[in-house]
Structure 1
């Protein structure tokens, strides 16, 4: 049997069986697929990220050579990669998104090499290190997505849960299907408008607070008229967080001469007047507002779909709950994938929280209806 290409000291191993050969062929197929995934991702990256991904592909190639050497004349016909690897490969070739890195991170964390007697310790260590490498690459994409993705998930889930709770509560109280539908539509509009208005105010307020905290360029015009013996310009720079030495040097620099015995390395770049793009600030606030409105409305419309199509009573509530449950499972699974965690647990968590809120309002609506009745 050909000697494996790994340089680690050989360990006593059991005699390979037919099941071992089948497992090795699957390992070989998955290693080839993983190397292809990293190469496909590298084609969509530049600079350091590209070199890191190519380095991962090279490492997977070494693992591939190990299993090829072990198989020897038992190599047989190439086997297809696992469904997970095939899916990752498709996404990497056509999209190259952060979802691929998040799923690859989870795949690396579940490597079986640490318990397989035919995998070398170096290979098992490689897989553990690969998880951290991919995690580091995925952090950049997660950071870019975190703000908009949080708003999307929060808005859609808020619409789903709040309107499902409203619809179930109204239906449990015994009112007609027409009233339930009107309540759902009213809840959709009221919630979406509230979300949009709140997001607009939040973004504008945040920008206004940041603008108020940004240093002005008054020193550009006021500096020449300052009393040179009582240079209050030093106080300006000290208030901005500079040390006494750095503030004195900067003030002297601003006045055009040097009276302090300072290190020239303290010199900073000259201040430049910066014009704030007011249209950009307003546009960003409007964009956040419209996005929140749409995300909430897209979630809130789901619970009222059965009533829009003429369904009434318990069947309408069951269909609404099923539709909302599917969407909650989907958003929870996406959150889990992006977090590199179990998508199943995240999906079930979203489902339990949403249905729990709906169940509470159903009981309250039933109790209110029974009391009034």
Structure 2
């Protein structure tokens, strides 16, 4: 980490090479000619890079405070790399470094979230930030700096994946529950209203849809996740080979078939059989000892989530989504005005849930939000038209 560069810009510049008023203290790669005097646009751009590098290094240090062990070491190493980039821009700027500039709004937002939350959302945002690095197109950045940013994206992706795995099962149920509640109840409310029934009937229909859907979603997620975990548990190898191996006939036994069926190569399977049969005690080739039967110390199905966690998340988030379309009717609104307000509220919620999915997946929040909005309002619009048609037939 270039701590001296952060505390004393002039020292950092001098450490990297001599500085002068017209150059950043660096010689051109060919022939030792001085670097041309930077333009005002260059200085402005470099100072922004400098501010962003400092902010990103601070983000990684703030995240490291809430981590321990390997994750902490990785985050501190990322901060150190950003410090090297900071030193590069200090060297180019020289006396033009001036007072520290404010980092970009994106970098400041990342810093705020890292200091106050330190969650997987911050890592997902940091992943996107690293992936949008301008250094590939920046002539003043070194090829090593551009390569660093590409590698940083993969490092942060790996760190974020750990958090995504812990969130995956319950988060999936929560997002699906909220979106189902928003879309299905908005469609129900608009379809009922289009038939021409009174606002009281529309409100009761919405409340019924909320309760029925929430219980249905919760029960469905419980059964789904529980069944999936039971299926995965059924495929986990047992310890039977440890118990039965000493009693097997050395010349004729099927222990080799057990390991072949588990996907081991024949060489590795024969090696394991010899171990289990007690033919030797020395593991002369550690690469053949895959240890598939060691008991797991962690939940190997954490990405699936727990059945109760998924059920409760699905129930609560479906209900929270389904209540949005009936809010105008709860406050006494009626007619087309209530439907417009309901559609606007649901649209805002769909943008929020879609954007959240985009953040966690490391993709564009706006694209994901607009996709959710189009799907939700499209379904509601089709249901409204069908309600009008059924209302006309009944009338």
TM-score (norm 1): 0.83
1:294 corresponds to: 316
Residue 366 (structure 1) aligned with residue 388 (structure 2): yes
Residues 209-249 of structure 1: per-residue CA shift (max 9 Å, x gap): 4455556677788889x795997674884696476746864
Separation (CA, whole Å) in 2 of partners of 1:268 and 1:328: 47
Unaligned 5+ segments in structure 1 are 275-282
Counterpart for residue 277 of structure 1: none
Q: Give the drift of 1:186.
A: 0.8
Decide which of 18, 24, 49 is 1:27's aligned counterpart: 49
- Partners in 2 of 1:250 and 1:311 — Cα distance? 76
Q: 1:181-219, CA deviations, whole angstroms, 9 ceiling, x for partnerless residues?
A: 111111111111111111222233334444555566777
- 2: distance between equivalents of 1:52 and 1:6? 31
Match of 1:161? 183
Q: Return the match for 2:198 from 161, 165, 176.
A: 176
Structure 1 vs Structure 2 CA RMSD: 3.5
More deviation, 353-362/63-72: 63-72
Flag the 1:364–1:24 CA change in 2: closer, same or farther, 3 A: same
2:379 aligned residue: 357
1:113 partner SS:
helix
- Alpha-carbon separation, structure 1, partners of 2:292 and 2:162: 32
Which deviates further from its counterpart, 116-125 or 308-317? Answer: 116-125
User: For 1:194, which of 216, 221, 234 is the aligned residue?
Assistant: 216
**Which deviations, in whole Å up to 9, do the C-alpha atoms of 1:137-185 show, x marking residues without a partner?**
2222222222221111111101111111111111111111111111111
Aligned residues: 359
Q: Contact 2:324–2:345 at 8 Å: present in 1 too?
A: yes
The 3 A distance-change label for structure 1 pair 220 and 70 is: closer
Bigger mean CA deviation after superposition, 196-205 or 145-154: 196-205
Change (3 A) 1:122 1:170: same
Q: 1:168 to 1:221 in 2, by over 3 A?
A: same
In structure 2, relative to structure 1, the CA distance for the partners of 1:312 and 1:80 (3 Å cut) is same
Map of 1:204 onto structure 2: 226
Structure 2 distance, partners of 1:369, 1:354, is 22
**How far, CA to CA, are the matches of 2:24 and 2:129 in structure 1?**
24
- 1:64-110 per-residue CA deviation (whole Å, 9 max, x = no partner) reads 12222222222222211111111111111222111111111111222
TM-score by length of 2: 0.79
Aligned-residue offset at 1:129: 2.4
